[in-house]
Chain A
Amino acid sequence: VKQLEEADRLLLRRKLSHLAGLTYLLLLFHASSLYGVWKVSLALTSFVLSASAFYTAYEILKVEGKPLRRLQRLWRLLGSPEGETVQEYWNACWFGLSITLTLLISLLLGDLSLTYIAGSAVILGDGFSGLTGYFLGKHKITFNPSKTLEGAVAGFLAAFLGGFLFTGNPMLSLLGALTGSAVELYPSKLPDNLTITLTVTLILLLAKILGGIFP
């Protein structure tokens, strides 16, 4: 029983640190009106790339048999103890790199709404569906028993609301939230943060190319 409680606490911490990804979008949203989109994007991109490089260096040190204990304690604090849930602690890097890819594509297109909607789908959608599923989840989804109907609905609503508040574009936010929820429900071994962000970006890109939805 004690072990289960420990696992639950870690899950909650992980989901809460997941929601901290929202600072990326908020920074982009507020700081870009102060300092300009290009400067803020450059700062965010540099930060994510250096953080990923740092993390990869840490992993190499660990393989070499020189783990950094303080960082291991930090991962545990953030909800991902090493050795137990091996896949989890890569997720921060996957999130950073895939949202940066979306941001760079948005900059190429000259339209940041792609980043806001894809970001909302992965941060708010995934975070809220996890939390709601954990607290209120009753009805398991038949083709993916680790997800619940309540979680899926909450995730969809949060993703839609987030995207809409950032961009003010209801159609595009709806499309992004729907795609994000669908990818989230699909049982896959690939990291959620990567698959959701990239799929939503791709679908929104297609919507933009095919036209009609973007103003």
Chain B
Amino acid sequence: VRRPLKTVLLGLSCGLAALAYLTGGSQPNLAILLALNLSAMVLLAAASLQS
């Protein structure tokens, strides 16, 4: 994966994780799972674009 794309994907993962944390509110466990799941989706998109 090229460098700018990597930066964008990293930013996107962090952004999504933050969003998940904020929406989680009183349920931090769910927010962590949501963040993990969203990051996995971003990574999968990156991997499928690369191959």
Contacts and interface: CB of A to CB of B under 8 A. Distances in A.
Contacts of A108: 23-24, 27, 30, 34
A59 interface: yes
Describe B's contact surface by its main secondary structure: helix
A39 B37 CA distance: 17
Contacts, number: 47
A90 interface: yes
Interface residues of B, number: 17
B41 A107 contact: no
A100 interface: yes
A45 B29 CA distance: 12
A90 B48 contact: yes
A45 B51 CA distance: 26
Contacts of A56: 43-44, 47
Contacts of A98: 41
B19 to A, nearest CB: 12
B40 interface: yes
B38 interface: yes
5 contacts: A49-B40, A56-B43, A59-B47, A105-B34, A107-B30
Interface of B: 23-24, 27, 30, 33-34, 36-38, 40-41, 43-44, 47-48, 50-51
Given A98-B41, A104-B34, 16 more contacts: A42-B33, A45-B37, A48-B37, A52-B44, A53-B40, A56-B47, A60-B47, A86-B51, A87-B48, A94-B44, A97-B37, A97-B44, A101-B37, A101-B38, A101-B41, A107-B30
